Chains A and B, each alone.
Chain A
Amino acid sequence: MSELLNNAVSLVREALWDPLPGWFQLGLVDLGYILAILLPLLLAVAYLTFAERKLIGYMQVRIGPNRVGPRGWLQPIADALKLLLKEIIIPTNANKFLFVIAPMLSIAPSLAAWAVIPFTDTMVLANIDASLLYILALTSVGVYGVIIAGWASNSKYAFLGAMRSAAQIVSYEIAMGFALVGVLMAAGSLNLHQIVLAQQGGFHQWYFIPLFPLFLVYFLSGVAETNRSPFDVAEGESEIVAGFHVEYSGMAFAIFFLAEYANMILIATLTVIMFLGGWYAPVETSFTIFPPIIWLLVKVAFVLFFFLWFRATFPRYRYDKIMRLGWKIFIPVTLIWIVVIGIATFYTPLGHLFH
């Protein structure tokens, strides 16, 4: 029986798989891996929205969504279906091409950035040396989606939201970049995999201790970059309705929503990889309690919790204060810390603390 099955499998392989050209086979295998990353990611995005509503509900002494399915667990699916059935409106005065292309411009980079994320020591789709550069490049492209959406809508609220949001994202991008330079100086590699390997050996080796100011700057800039509360003036529902995506409806809006949450998870994962030791357990033991991937996921969930907690706790920042924080506090702090790392490395015996 099993022989028959084996024969059938090899027959199918000979007939369908072997005649394919080599690059195509490679591409198919990659596509399989990509789906293995993408589908859990999209599921995580869906349930992050649920977790957010539940958590904020509890923090405000409400119950949160609890009607759809047992304890509300089917809520994200109901939301997706509802958005699917809503009309996609393209305003008369909008630039139609730009209007349609904007959501794609914001989702594609926030998903494609996951190609270089190392999940465990062996689990990484594209182990390229320039992975950090690639991440920085792709997260910068996200701002195009915002500004094109705001411009193409030809609506005042959308325009104001896009201007604010673009200036804010661009400002915090600098602080973020400088924070990354600090990590590079400590790890000596642009490869995310190498950066995690450099943090091996218990939590005292993780970079959040020697690079603590950069850790804070990076994480808070990440919150600002994703336009999350308390830096969500781009949406500012009490002043400019919904900001850059006010004219979007139905699935076109859902794409923006998806991109925002995928970006949140990406920032959280990058924070974990660069400052919180990636897939390593906090204490090195001779036996393994959890597999490395669980450690990574637990840490990511922990960081994501802060995103949600911030939203429930802090009132929205005023715009001038946001810009002040980005330019006058974060940038000088990161610059100074880069100099501190350099001086400590070359002129004091404390250099090993930073490596």
Chain B
Amino acid sequence: MSEVNMEAKPNLDRRDFLTKSSIGLAGLAIAPGMMLFDLAHGRAQNEAASNKVRWGMLIDNNKCETGCNDCVTACNTENGLSGGTKPTDSQWIRKVQLKDTFTGRVSSLPMMCQHCENPPCVDVCPTQASFKRADGIVLVDKHICIGCRYCVMACPYQARSFVHEAITDQKTEVPRGKGTVESCTLCVHRIDKGETTACAAACTKAGHNAILFGDLNDPASEISKRIRAVTSTQIRADLGLNTGVRYEGI
């Protein structure tokens, strides 16, 4: 669609082109590191995801309200999940309650795919169906998933679910089917449109603001500033997976 037809401009030689385009680029950069448009978030629809971006979330345990389930509900609605909690039901995100037995502090946090930099689910997948996209989102290619469930066993966060029964009425943007493994997609279809994840949006809407979504690679993003300023933890950091989802206050 946006192919440049070079033959239509026969007079534009290489030197001329470079000079003109560098003038154009200089105009777009206000100052070093500051551009008129945001490169990371303004990815065109027909452009591939880039490894210059790494999507992640920071979850503030202090702000996450015990008993609130809005993120889970939002995820279920967005992705067309049943919302059931039987062992055979898919759960892409769940609320986990923590109790410090010494102080008696009870808190809760949402648990989902942590979108690891070195994901064990990708390591073990025999068909390469489990993969990490360039921008750090860990996904399952259900076209080639054989449903062996090695990834389910390999995941230290129990983030993956297997679809046991035939599904109807899937969402157009979230294909799901029997015999394949699935997990949180970090709302990849929303991210590709430049939106935030459904859980983060629901948390903000509920007024808790416990989930902060953003680009971990962009030093100017809100999430990067926050993880630079406060102590945040990776769950099972000892495994060296470098998770994309981090927690604050646990």
Whether both chains belong to one complex is answered with no
